[in-house]
């Protein structure tokens, strides 16, 4: 006696066809379920993809040690990558706008176009390449955390204050969420434009002057920024010499085939950008220049607080330090 195949009423199939029909029907639901799982996984993956490599526990003490070990290099043009690490952390974070809560270091977009190719970011590929081995050595570490932590480590290792830092930045998969390119300060801006840019990030005059005090470290390179020279005689040592030099030295416009910059009359070896000179031309900014020139400890304290704030702009943290 022939049996009725499931759900087919009175239709009668030969034995062989009946078996083929049964297995075909049997796997319709599992295959559909599998496809649903695949689609759901793809959707979840696209969301979690912004988190890059966060499933592993990271020993950030060891990460700091690895960063510090990469700073000094006699074969590098400046002998120390620290100032470049600070510059990258600064520029990655300084795109934030409290007006619409976009920008900042979260996402690590500074490694992608278009942000990586902005003229103001020229030369930062050197810092990213230098830190790549650290990223590879610590699964779970995000680029966004790495770039800001490197800046904090560099300040401390070059004699500056300890910068409080915490992890929690995620990595985006591409640069489509990069902020507008006109958000970062430039060397030729006037006092009001400088204020507007920093106020957009949430900084007041004291914090503005303290953050520009990062020019106590590093130097300009003509092949990166078109400007040339160090701000102080000790460009890898954190100090208040940037402010002391502004007040104590005489500055004149440099006569050279390049953009407007200023040099000290005495040695003609030190640099000040037009935006640096603004700090002593603007009465409100100058108040803090004088304070920091006379009190290096106060500068270190204010810089640490402002730089910590800068590195956290636009980041939603789930925990404390």
Helices (H), the chain: 15-26, 28-48, 60-69, 82-93, 124-137, 143-157, 191-201, 205-212, 222-225, 241-248, 274-281, 283-294, 296-311
Comparing C-alpha atoms, which of 180, 186, 55, 58 is closest to residue 109? 180
How many other CB atoms sit within 10 Å of the CB of residue 9? Answer: 6
Task: Give the C-alpha separation, 4 to 12, whole Å.
Answer: 6
How many other CB atoms sit within 10 Å of the CB of residue 119? Answer: 11
Using the structure block, give the residue that is written with the tokens 């040695």: 267
Tokens representing 115?
């942000």
At 154-197, the pLDDT tens digits run 999 999 999 999 999 999 999 999 999 999 999 999 999 999 99
- 3-state DSSP assignment of residue 234: coil
Q: Domain coordinates of the chain in residue numbers?
A: 60-311
Angle of CA points 106, 107, 110, to nearest 5°: 100
Is the separation of the CB atoms in 207 and 309 below 8 Å? yes
Comparing C-alpha atoms, which of 273, 63, 68, 294 is closest to residue 159? 68
Q: Residue 250: what pLDDT?
A: 99
How many other CB atoms sit within 10 Å of the CB of residue 183? Answer: 17
Is the separation of the CB atoms in 81 and 130 below 8 Å? yes
Fold of 60-311: Peroxidase; domain 2 (1.10.420)
Task: Give the C-alpha separation, 180 to 86, whole Å.
Answer: 21
Q: pLDDT per position in the chain (321 positions), as tens? A: 333 333 333 344 444 444 444 444 444 445 555 455 444 544 444 444 444 454 579 999 999 999 999 999 999 999 999 999 999 999 999 999 999 999 999 999 999 999 999 999 999 999 999 999 999 999 999 999 999 999 999 999 999 999 999 999 999 999 999 999 999 999 999 999 999 999 999 999 999 999 999 999 999 999 999 999 999 999 999 999 999 999 999 999 999 999 999 999 999 999 999 999 999 999 999 999 999 999 999 999 999 999 999 999 999 997 666
């Amino acid at each position: 006696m022939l049996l009725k195949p499931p759900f087919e009423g009175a239709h009668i199939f030969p034995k062989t066809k009946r078996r083929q029909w049964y297995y075909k029907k049997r796997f319709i639901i599992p295959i559909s379920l599998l496809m649903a799982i695949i689609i759901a996984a793809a959707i979840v993956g696209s969301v979690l993809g912004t988190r890059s490599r966060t499933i592993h526990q990271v020993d950030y003490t060891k990460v700091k040690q690895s960063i510090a070990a990469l700073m000094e290099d006699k074969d590098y043009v400046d002998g120390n990558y620290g100032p470049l690490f600070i510059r990258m952390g600064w520029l990655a974070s300084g795109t934030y706008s409290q007006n619409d809560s976009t920008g900042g270091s979260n996402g690590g977009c500074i490694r992608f176009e278009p942000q990586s190719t902005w003229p103001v970011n020229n030369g930062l590929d050197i810092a990213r390449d230098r830190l790549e081995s650290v990223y590879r050595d610590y699964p779970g570490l995000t680029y966004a955390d790495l770039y800001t932590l490197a800046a904090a480590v560099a300040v401390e290792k070059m004699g500056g204050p300890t910068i409080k830092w915490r992890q929690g930045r995620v990595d985006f998969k591409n640069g489509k969420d990069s902020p507008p390119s006109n958000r970062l300060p430039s060397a030729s801006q006037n006092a009001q434009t400088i204020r507007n840019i920093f106020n957009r990030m949430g900084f007041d005059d004291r914090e503005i002057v303290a953050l520009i005090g990062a020019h106590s470290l590093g130097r300009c390179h003509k092949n990166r920024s078109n400007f040339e020279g160090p701000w102080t005689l000790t460009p890898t040592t954190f100090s208040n010499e940037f402010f002391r030099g502004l007040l104590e030295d005489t500055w004149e416009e440099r006569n050279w085939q390049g953009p407007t910059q200023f040099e000290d009359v005495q040695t003609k070896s030190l640099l000040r950008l037009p935006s640096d000179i603004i700090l002593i031309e603007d009465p409100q900014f100058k108040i803090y220049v004088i304070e920091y020139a006379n009190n290096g400890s106060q500068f270190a304290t204010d810089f640490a607080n402002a730089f910590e704030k800068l590195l956290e702009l636009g980041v939603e943290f789930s925990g404390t330090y």
